[in-house]
Amino acid sequence: MNTRKHTLLIALLSAVAVNSTHASILWQGNFETGDMTQWHTAINPAGLSVITECAFDGKHAGKVRLTGDESFIWKGNKFLNRSEFHHRSTAGNTYEGKDTFFAFSFYLPKKLTEHKHELGYWESDKSWQQMLRFNITGSELSFQESAGKEVLWKLPQGAAPGQWQRVAMHIHWSTDPKIGSAEVWVNGQHMGKNFFKNLPAKDALMFTQIGILRTQEEAVEEIFIDGALETDNLTELLERDKHLVGKTCTP
Q: What is the pLDDT of residues 13-52, one digit of tens each?
A: 444 444 444 569 999 999 999 999 999 989 999 999 999 9
Q: Per-residue pLDDT tens for 82-120?
A: 999 999 988 899 999 999 999 999 999 999 999 999 999
Give the integer Cα–Cα distance in Å for 109 and 112: 9
pLDDT confidence of residue 73: 83
- Dihedral in degrees, nearest 10, Cα atoms 231, 232, 238, 244: -20
pLDDT confidence of residue 251: 61
Average pLDDT of the residues of the chain = 91
Q: Per-residue pLDDT tens for 181-191?
A: 999 999 999 99
